[in-house]
Structure 1
Amino acid sequence: MYTVILQAIGLATAAWIAYLSQPGSSLFSWHPTLMSFAFLVAMPNGIFALSRNHPLYASAKLSSKVTIHLLSQLVAVSSALIALATIITNKDNNKADHFTTRHGLIGLITCIAMVGATSGGVLANNAQLVKAFIKPAAMKSIHAFAAGCAVYPLAMTTIVLATYSNFLVSALPIAYMRYTIAGVATIMAVAVYVQVSQRGARKTVRAD
């Protein structure tokens, strides 16, 4: 049940950021809108879809859960890359330097790592193609660890750093409102880490 609550909080936070951004009002407005959707809505949905206890997916077949996971991650990657393209283009248009802040640098690293983890997920879903080089179970474990324990915490770190950006400082001059977004990002990162770790532990127990 807690996964549904977390997803609702993530959706509400993404909607709040979209409201502040007013998507379509400028090129930049799509950056926070799409990034928050990618990492607070689409990616968590893909990760939590594989949970055994998720009320919406508990009765679904494993193949259906994997399909939901894959589609959600592809939507997340697409949204994040479009958001990255918009901020690069916006900075070019304004003759501004790229990736000069911690938020920008960690965000770039996150996007690169996300593409890598998603590519690993596609291979994990077609593990028979690479079984000569790596065991399918190992490939799936590496993908889960990379996405849940590395990429997602990086994404949430990017969102926390975004609360110090000119955009959010201007849109939310009251500090505690920005801290709320940072708190949501921190809770989401911990929840995903726990989810992935528990899934890995169950697989280890079954293997033993």
Structure 2
Amino acid sequence: MPSDVEYSPVGEGLGMRDYWLYVWLRRAAVIAAHVTGMGLTLIITLLSRPGTSLFSWHPVCMSFAYCLCMTEGVLLFSAEGSPFCFKSRKGKVRLHWFCQALVLIAAAAGLGFMVASKNLSELPHLLSWHSVLGVCTLAATALQAACGLCVIFPQLLRLSSTPLRLKLYHATCGLVVYLLATVTVVSAMFSDWFQATVKGTAWWAFLLLPLFPALVVMNQITNSYLPRKKITR
């Protein structure tokens, strides 16, 4: 990394009183993001009535993968409001990998249920924006998992980049995947199934809910990994 670049500390330039207010607001935002991810997963599961059809398992698996597991896998690195109290970074990294493995497994299962449902109903595939975005999200998730392997095994894979730069690339790509997954979840709310299930004011609330964890995740990653130039005095 260039010598004039450093990672930005949280709350730099704030007074002590303003700093504590900033910390508590961040903590409340992170906790709200946890609650939103878990709440979305639970409500979508109840609305889907899993077991009533092959399709009913698709939103269950996908919400579990992206609204819950991926969100928790990122937020556990947050210093404010994380329910996981690992003191060592190694413990957090292992739990992160476990969450991301669950994302891959649940997303693959969700894809399988959707394909089986379409084939059973003899309906064509990839006709909606949601389905196209979903395929892109799954492909990006798989690539991001491969990128994570590069971070853990740089010497085994004989990579020339430094570990710090690999972590920066991994975090940046992870942010892109999370935002892509958020867009995919939002597009699902324009599907015929969801609009027939949720209507009125509740639909607008569902439309906005996935955006909040995305903002918190984006803020966390940029604060942790976005390089800033040093201020010369």
Q: Which has the larger radius of gyration?
A: 2
Residues 7-30 of structure 1: CA deviation (Å, up to 9, x unaligned): 112111111010010111111011
Q: Structure 2: give runs of 5+ residues left out of the alignment.
A: 1-26
**CA separation of 1:56 and 1:158: change in aligned 2, threshold 3 A:** same
Structure 2 residue aligned with 1:89: 116
Aligned ranges 1:99-118 → 2 under 5 Å: 99-118=126-145
Q: TM-score, normalised by structure 1?
A: 0.91
Structure 2 residue aligned with 1:181: 206
Aligned ranges 1:1-208 → 2 under 5 Å: 1=27, 2-57=29-84, 59-148=86-175, 150-172=176-198, 174-201=199-226
Runs of 4+ with deviation above 6 angstroms: none
For residues 213 and 97 of structure 2, what CA distance do their matches in structure 1 show?
A: 20
* Structure with greater helix percent: 1
The DSSP-based 3-state class of the residue aligned with 1:98 is coil
Q: Structure 1: give runs of 5+ residues left out of the alignment.
A: none
Q: Aligned letter for 2:180? A: L
Q: Aligned letter for 2:207? A: A
**CA separation of 1:44 and 1:205: change in aligned 2, threshold 3 A:** farther
Shift of 1:118: 1.2
Residues 67-112 of structure 1: CA deviation (Å, up to 9, x unaligned): 1111111111111111011111111111111111101100110010
Shift of 1:200: 0.4
**Bigger RCO (CA 8 Å, 6+ sep):** 2
The DSSP-based 3-state class of the residue aligned with 1:151 is helix
Shift of 1:205: 7.2
Q: Give me the identity figure in percent.
A: 25
The DSSP-based 3-state class of the residue aligned with 1:39 is helix
